[in-house]
Amino acid sequence: MFKPHVTVACIVHAEDKFLVVEETINGKALWNQPAGHLEADETLVQAAERELWEETGIRATPQHFIRMHQWIAPDKTPFLRFLFLIELDEICPTEPHDSDIDRCLWVSAEEILNAANLRSKLVAESIHAYQSGERYPLSLIGAFNWPFTEGVK
């Protein structure tokens, strides 16, 4: 049976800037969107909220679903990556709670698209999806009869 890793990522946008997280991998400072793995007891939206807080210190709920990417990483690991959008009214301070994150930066789309230090090509592809205007309601990926939701029997 095929068992890809399930991850979530957030495009965070404010004042014509995008939030990237910088982490050092194999001695290189690489940029990514706030992103991480889905945990067993959470919905995709809850995972996006948790990863955003862990990596940036920002508490926010995605407003839209943008796209699901199915891809194979360079090390041959298969992934399903769910991309969400968080539009903020203004740039806000950040405080990563994940020790793997060195810092957060607010940068332009052009800086991301021209960066030589992206963690993967999906970072730039996510900006292209944002720029294309892709926006879907969160209900598109709603949880059904979720056992961790209050009131479900």
79-99 pLDDT tens trace: 999 999 999 999 999 999 999
Tens of pLDDT, residues 12-64: 999 999 999 999 999 999 999 999 999 988 999 999 999 999 999 999 999 99
Tell me the per-residue pLDDT of 117-149, one tens digit each, with 9 for 90 and over.
Answer: 999 999 999 999 999 999 999 999 988 777 766
Helices (H) and strands (E) in the chain, counts: 3, 7
What's the predicted TM-score (pTM) here? 0.93
Which CATH number does the domain 5-141 belong to among 3.90.79.10, 3.10.150.10, 3.40.50.10860, 3.90.870.40? Answer: 3.90.79.10
